[in-house]
Amino acid sequence: MPARKKSRRVRFIVIALVLLLMAGVGFASYWSVSTVRASFPQTTGSLKLAGLSAPVDVERDAYGIPQIYADTPEDLFRAQGYVQAQDRFYEMDVRRHLTSGRLSEMFGKGQVETDAFLRTLDWRGVAQKEYDTQLDAATKAYLRAYSDGVNAYLKDHSGAALSVEYAALKFSNGYKPQPWTPVDSVAWLKAMAWDLRSNMQDEIDRALMTSRLSQAQIKQLYPAYPYDRNQPIVDAGSVDSTTKVYSPAGTSSGPQSLNNTVDSQLAGISQIIDQMPALLGPNGSGIGSNSWVVSGAFTTTGKPMLANDPHLAPQLPSLWYQMGLHCRTVSSACPYDVAGYTFSGMPGVIIGHNKDIAWGMTNLGADVTDLYLEKVTATTYLRDGKQVPFTMRHEEIKVAGGKSREITVRETTNGPLISDRSDEIREVGQTAPVDNPPGGVNSGYAVALNWTALKPSKTMDAVFKLDRATDFEQFRAAAKDFAVPSQNLIYADSKGAHGHIGYQAPGQVPIRADGDDGTYPVPGWDSHYDWKGTIPFQAMPYEYDPERGYIVTANQAVIDQSKYPYMLTQDWGYGTRSQRINDLIASKVKDNGKISMDDMQSMQSDNSSEIAKVLVPYLLKVDITGDKNSYVRNAQKLLEGWDYNQDADSAAAAYFNAVWRNVLKLAFGNKLPKELRPEGQCLRVPPVGETGPVDNLDGKGIPTVQECGERDPSEAQPDGSDRWSEVVLDILPDATNSWWTMSTTAFYGVDTDKAHHSTRDQLLAQAMKDARYELTAKLGKDIDTWSWGRLHKLELKNQTLGTDGPGVIKWLLNRGPWQLSGGEAAVDATGWNAAGGYDVIWVPSMRMIVNLQDLDKSRWINLTGASGHAYNAHYTDQTDKWAANELLPWYFSDEPVKKATKATLVLTP
């Protein structure tokens, strides 16, 4: 028997045994190898697909990536729906239940609170309005064709034939998926907008910090963007100069009448928001994406090269689905010849290239959310001195295996009350002291969310416009409709001597009132704080063929705020990644050097730690000598001669990142309020608001109380992002800065005999000691066996059942771990949260490099694989290469695609 067949047989025997154990004796005949294989799609031969006008070819390569060829757009997108349902329907089904707030129908009562929150935001309702009132007729036709393709697959497949997950769900609650609709596709854009909503968490965090820190201290933890060191994306933009709306010198809105009770309310909202990352990914100042484009004048091919790697939460299967969509004859009647990354559940290509242009996306980071404090009664809210009735709607949440729950959503002119979604928050709001309570009843503060994504838009139109754009003018016309999420769009084409490159900032970005910079919640009862419209598209920054010859977007500032009349945000990423990319490109193109495809790929895998380059010299100057300290000194020596690269096999990278984590904890983390610290981390600290002598509370002469952290570790602070790098850079030269004080009693100004103001070097020495003992516990006493990858691991978890299902199901569906290079704020951005641990929590979710001189020499990779079916050959067949920073060839033209094709399926009318 050939080894490969023998290995396959052994593998399926193991699967069968596990499934037998999982299902129990009563279902032994059902749970078998055939159950696992039942959902594997047919990829060869022919199948009938109702509604087609002519046959459609689906050609898959060795990695199962499909290229679809059709004669009409409707046939193309109908086939796209069918093929994506073949590979990914369970993922699609979970997504639509997420966006419509119906997860409880699939997974039971544990998802009720998440559903209630999502019903309050009403993503599905907004998507329905978009479909009914905003989208072009052609877009609607494509959405309907896509839905028809999905439903054609559903008609002939159910239960285990759809996916092994449905076999498990059928045992537990009898769940059966409903037909797909066009609105299901549109609604997914709201989930992505939520994932990339920018500074909402920062707004909450700043308000929560007021319980422990002064305004001056909070300002230190949110330093100004370093324009002198990290260049923004563009130097200038197209600006409507008739209106001067934002003054950079204006005052911050500041916290509006906040007190400890309201802080608790905001903490409760934060806890609700923390439920979302398991589905959509963490949202912090570190998360983002990389993209850059280089003019042909500076490339080895003479035409532009474009790179992109969006950073999102790791998911299995990957968020992205690679695909090509080709009209056999490209014409005005059938204008699509495009390939790239799609979302399962949505027609079209989101990021990629067509035969004329290429484009990429990163999160712009515009401030598109605001929290409004509201003075409310049960049925009204205060508005400019008058009681205004809420707009109310009632929602029924159906629960698998349980009783339905009904909720009432109350909305103000500033948006829905998200504080209604927790009994604890509701009680806090009723007791919150307020000035001038409405109606003579102390009903307290509620909190409303205003967010651009809750307004219907034409973003779905923009996707198809991008797919068929042929030049920069059409690219910008598409960007004009790209309302949410607000993205940095980069561009390249091959026209002319060296091709053209460009950038456009799209999106609906609110214009705020004077004195409101979006950094704190504002009074909803005062219409002065209402949004004053959105920034006109013609005033959004853009660039076309800049003289420097390249454009980099990596979540840094778009433009120097002092040069721009509108406020985009006060909470940019701080430009560590973007400046590293700028420096790498500049070092190659100086003295007329040329950048190759290999150079572009090497840049994507760059894992240099920029904070280490600054901090390590300080760490090496700390005197750690003597017999008692030799244990720590041996670890300190790892940093001598380190090249600052965070390779998976690097012991120095492991030790430095452990030191960095402990520096942040000692200098900042222990001084933050419990609402920001990681869950389970308990400290003895002075009571909130205590800044002077108090009674002895712990019997040791130190006035403290015990406080335990409350935030999910993946969302806790300090997270180690480049914002915290900037904070540390600001105080490093000041050896006696108060932040270096390790004693919280001393830091908070409590007068005790034991309060101790430590210095920078004392704190660094303690951090090195703590890191040495931490890694000894995690990796062993022998530092020669340490490596960064042993700490910095990625586990890929199947959404829902892979995180919350029985242990055996998790074993069946999940994969990993992989030991990864890279790190927080590195170009190879395998993110981890320094407050929570070293595990990888967000990643380059895909990587691509487009060669505009020869599209067939482009390269790409996905985090997992094309298939969402466990044990399918394409479930995670790209992950090993992805982890090693390798890329696959990306063929586009007919002949190379046919040569690479391993399976052809013909869909017939």
- Identify any residues that bridge with 818 across adjacent strands, giving them in sequence order: 794
Find the length of the chain: 909
DSSP 677: S
- Identify any residues that bridge with 371 across adjacent strands, giving them in sequence order: 449
The two three-digit tokens of residue 129, written as one number: 């309005």
| 216 pLDDT above the threshold of 90 | yes
903-908 and 45-48 strand pairing: parallel
Task: Tell me the C-alpha distance between 212 and 260, whole Å.
Answer: 10
Q: What is the model's pLDDT at position 253? A: 45
DSSP 292: E
Q: What is the model's pLDDT at position 752? A: 55
Q: What is the model's pLDDT at position 252? A: 43
DSSP sequence for 75-96: HHHHHHHHHHHHHHHHHHHHHH
SS (H, E, C) 430-476: HHCCCCCCHHHCCCCEEEEEEEHHHCCCCHHHHHHHHHHCCCHHHHH
815-819 and 793-796 strand pairing: antiparallel
| 617 pLDDT above the threshold of 60 | yes
Q: What is the model's pLDDT at position 32? A: 57
DSSP sequence for 492-535: EE--TTT-EEEEE--S--BPPPTT--SSS-EETT-GGGS---B-
Q: What is the model's pLDDT at position 807? A: 73
Q: What is the model's pLDDT at position 7? A: 45
Asked whether 366 and 509 are in contact (CB, 8 A), the reply is yes
Task: Tell me the C-alpha distance between 254 and 517, whole Å.
Answer: 9
Reported as a pLDDT band with limits 50, 70 and 90, residue 244 is: very low
Q: What is the model's pLDDT at position 864? A: 97
pTM equals 0.92
**Nearest one of 668, 669, 685 to 677, comparing CA atoms:** 669
Per-residue b/e over 132-146, b at no fewer than 16 CB within 10 Å? Answer: eebbeeebbebbbbb
The two three-digit tokens of residue 454, written as one number: 């809750």
Per-residue b/e over 103-120, b at no fewer than 16 CB within 10 Å? Answer: bbbbbbeebbbbbbbbbb
Reported as a pLDDT band with limits 50, 70 and 90, residue 546 is: very high
888-890 and 858-862 strand pairing: antiparallel
Say which range, 256-260, 344-348, 445-449, has the weakest mean pLDDT.
Answer: 256-260
Reported as a pLDDT band with limits 50, 70 and 90, residue 815 is: very high
Give mean pLDDT, residues 789-799. Answer: 94
Residue of higher predicted confidence among 1 and 69: 69
Q: What is the model's pLDDT at position 553? A: 97
Give mean pLDDT, residues 585-613. Answer: 96
Neighbours of 631 (CB within 10 A): 15
Q: What is the model's pLDDT at position 690? A: 59
Reported as a pLDDT band with limits 50, 70 and 90, residue 236 is: low
Residue of higher predicted confidence among 807 and 726: 726
What is the sign, positive or negative, of the torsion defined by CA atoms of 814, 195, 450, 219?
A: positive
What is the sign, positive or negative, of the torsion defined by CA atoms of 533, 537, 538, 540?
A: positive
Neighbours of 341 (CB within 10 A): 23
Task: Tell me the C-alpha distance between 285 and 277, whole Å.
Answer: 14
Task: Tell me the C-alpha distance between 321 and 16, whole Å.
Answer: 29
- Give pairs for 590-593: CB < 8 Å, separation 24+: 593/298
Burial of residue 399 (CB within 10 Å: 0-12, 13-18, 19+) is buried
Reported as a pLDDT band with limits 50, 70 and 90, residue 591 is: confident
The two three-digit tokens of residue 1, written as one number: 């028997």
Question: What pLDDT digit, counting tens, does each position of 20-54 carry?
Answer: 444 443 343 345 566 778 889 999 999 999 999 99
Question: What pLDDT digit, counting tens, does each position of 716-751 carry?
Answer: 999 999 999 999 999 999 999 999 999 888 888 775
Catalogue the E-assigned strands of 225-327.
289-294, 305-312, 320-327
Say which range, 11-25, 182-196, 230-244, has the weakest mean pLDDT.
Answer: 11-25
Residue of higher predicted confidence among 386 and 695: 386
Task: Tell me the C-alpha distance between 304 and 855, whole Å.
Answer: 11
Asked whether 700 and 666 are in contact (CB, 8 A), the reply is no
For residue 837, give every residue at least 6 positions away whose Cβ sits within 8 Å of its Cβ, in sequence order, or none.
713
The helix/strand/coil state of 139 is helix
Which H or E run includes 369? strand 369-375
Task: Tell me the C-alpha distance between 641 and 658, whole Å.
Answer: 18
Q: Where are the alpha helices (DSSP H) in 780-869?
A: 788-791, 801-804, 807-813
Question: What pLDDT digit, counting tens, does each position of 161-191 carry?
Answer: 999 888 888 766 778 899 999 999 999 998 8
369-375 and 522-523 strand pairing: parallel
**Nearest one of 269, 159, 518 to 369, comparing CA atoms:** 518
How distant, in Å, are the alpha carbons of 233, 272, 481 from that of 111?
40, 12, 34
Q: What is the model's pLDDT at position 890? A: 98
The two three-digit tokens of residue 723, written as one number: 């914002």
* Helix/strand/coil percent split, the chain, to 5: 40, 20, 40
How distant, in Å, are the alpha carbons of 311, 414, 443, 755 from that of 751?
46, 44, 38, 7
Task: Tell me the C-alpha distance between 361 and 554, whole Å.
Answer: 10
Task: Tell me the C-alpha distance between 286 and 208, whole Å.
Answer: 20
- Identify any residues that bridge with 405 across adjacent strands, giving them in sequence order: 397
Task: Tell me the C-alpha distance between 611 and 651, whole Å.
Answer: 17
Task: Tell me the C-alpha distance between 289 and 310, whole Å.
Answer: 4
Q: What is the model's pLDDT at position 431? A: 42
Residue type, 607: N
Which H or E run includes 818? strand 815-819
Q: What is the model's pLDDT at position 444? A: 59
Reported as a pLDDT band with limits 50, 70 and 90, residue 463 is: very high
Asked whether 447 and 372 are in contact (CB, 8 A), the reply is yes
| 278 pLDDT above the threshold of 50 | no
Residue with tokens 């036709």: 141
